[in-house]
Amino acid sequence: MKISENIDKVREDLGYCPQFDALIESLTVYEQLELFYDLKSLSSEKKEAAINNKIDELDLREYADKLSGTLSGGNKRKLSVAMAMIGNPRIVFLDEPSTGMDPRARRFMWKVISRVATLRKDATVVLTTHSM
């Protein structure tokens, strides 16, 4: 597959969570996920369900209407991972997804990542971490 000729498919199939949160702090959690969903050119019919699924999967429901810039460091990391995983891409790159999280939040994050990497069986997760 030639990337330049299939850019929409490439966007759909890739997710990336950088080491440092790349959030637009004036957007809410919901709006942030909506933006990334739209950037991937995914089906508008499944948009609301996909966004709500990621909000629930990463335990961000109580923050859905809060500005990204007001979240704690751990919840910003959860949002960054949710943005990478929106639309269930086939390849997900996660760079230090649990940085700055307390041990309980870190364990939660590893369970989410494990579920995507092993249970879904349709995604490859490339992970860098010092938390081993």
**What is the spatial distance between Cα 98 and Cα 119, in angstroms, rounded to a whole number?**
20
Assess contact for 105 and 72: CB atoms under 8 A: no
Computed over every residue of the chain, the mean pLDDT equals 88
Query: Where do runs of H (alpha helix) occur along the chain?
Result: 7-13, 29-39, 47-57, 73-85, 103-114
Q: CB–CB of 116/91 below 8 Å?
A: no
Please tell me what DSSP assigns to residue 66. Answer: S
pLDDT tens digits, 64-81: 999 999 999 999 999 999
pLDDT at 31: 97
Residue 120 has a pLDDT of 67
d(CA 97, CA 82): 10
